[in-house]
Amino acid sequence: MATVTLTNVAKRFGAFEVVHGANIDIADGEFVVFVGPSGCGKSTLLRMIAGLEDISGGEIAIGGKVVNDVEPADRGIAMVFQSYALYPHMSVEQNLSFGLRMTGNPKADTERRVKRAAEILRISELMDRRPKKLSGGQRQRVAIGRAIVREPQVFLFDEPLSNLDAELRVQMRVEISRLHKELGATMVYVTHDQTEAMTLADRIVVLRAGHIEQIGRPLELYDNPDNMFVAGFVGSPK
Ligand code: ADP
Ligand code: MG
């Protein structure tokens, strides 16, 4: 587990600034959701935390340590994407263990981690299957499993459920909530879906066009939105 602190974090693509000096303090073990319309900078923020995108200004710290110049692999994070590209020719077990095998993690420890992730996600009975023999929800579980086996301090999710149908989305939302409680890890979760944000988050960061409009607990935002935009986004009547 770890804190994540963004101080005046900015991002420019050429002359175009897409994130304007963001300040966000995420506590150890907190579930924080970035919400906002398409193009507002959610993925860019997440990718900067992950180290997949350089930052143009400011500072990002994970567990109190500035990581601006730290490689993604050394940041103690794991990311789950919307398009969970599993290796089609590998079994679930191999999909889960592949990353650890590549980095030379000891075999017994890899087996322990894979077994634990499978138990947490309730996919232990699917270990020999290929991805094409899995349902959408099962595939998404395997993708999350690949993050869990890395035993990260911080999980980063970029719209992980947006490819699933409505029913499965609700189911996986419950699963992700359970996962957060079970692992106690810090989670940063991006979505444009306000229901997802309201039900999952300890705190929500509402973004608009690269600005933070408001940060607060779901009910705080609902009861006391700072402006019409936030009100519209959290679905309150103001
Ligand atoms: P969101 O995830 O909220 O939909 P993004 O973070 O993907 O938004 O994008 C924020 C803005 O940055 C958008 O205007 C997008 O077009 C722009 N953008 C994202 N990636 C790049 C890039 N590699 N080059 C130029 N512009 C980009
Ligand atoms: Mg995005």
Ligand whose nearest atom lies closest to the CA of 158: 2
Distance 14 CA to ligand 1 centre (A): 12
Sign of the CA dihedral with 179 first, then 144, 173, and 38 last = positive
For residue 83, the model assigns a pLDDT of: 66
Q: At residue 90, does pLDDT exceed 90?
A: yes
Ligand whose nearest atom lies closest to the CA of 53: 1
Which of 9, 11, 12, 13 has most ligand 1 atoms within 8 Å of CB, for mutation? Answer: 13
For residue 236, the model assigns a pLDDT of: 66
For residue 166, the model assigns a pLDDT of: 87
For residue 27, the model assigns a pLDDT of: 98
Quick one: average pLDDT of 78-106?
91
Atom 25 (ligand 1) nearest CA:
13
Tell me: the pLDDT tens digits for 153-199? 999 999 988 888 888 889 889 989 999 999 999 999 999 998 999 99
Distance CA(215)–CA(34), nearest Å, equals 9
Atom 20 (ligand 1) nearest CA:
44
Distance 44 CA to ligand 1 centre (A): 6
From the CA of 37, give the closest atom in ligand 1.
3
Atom 13 (ligand 1) nearest CA:
39
Distance 36 CA to ligand 2 centre (A): 10
Tell me: the pLDDT tens digits for 186-222? 999 999 998 999 999 999 999 999 999 999 999 999 9
Atom 5 (ligand 1) nearest CA:
41
**Which has the closest alpha carbon to 226: 199, 204, 209, 210?**
204
Neighbour order of strands in the sheet with 65-66: 16-26, 4-13, 57-62, 65-66
SS (H, E, C) 13-42: ECCEEEEEEEEEEECCCCEEEEECCCCCCH
From the CA of 40, give the closest atom in ligand 1.
3
Three-class secondary structure of residue 64 per DSSP: coil
DSSP-based helix, strand, coil % in the chain, nearest 5: 40, 25, 35
Ligand 1 neighbours by CB, cut-off 6 Å: 13, 18, 36, 38-44
Q: At residue 238, does pLDDT exceed 70?
A: no
Ligand whose nearest atom lies closest to the CA of 34: 1
Residue 104 falls in which region: left (phi positive, over 0), alpha (psi -120 to 50) or beta: left
Give ipTM to 2 decimals.
0.98
Distance 204 CA to ligand 2 centre (A): 16
Element (H, E) at 32: strand 31-35
Three-class secondary structure of residue 70 per DSSP: coil
Alpha helices in the chain (DSSP H): 42-50, 92-102, 107-121, 136-148, 166-183, 194-200, 218-223, 228-234
Contacts of 14 (CB under 8 A, 6+ apart): none
Distance CA(182)–CA(214), nearest Å, equals 28
Distance 147 CA to ligand 2 centre (A): 19
From the CA of 46, give the closest atom in ligand 1.
6
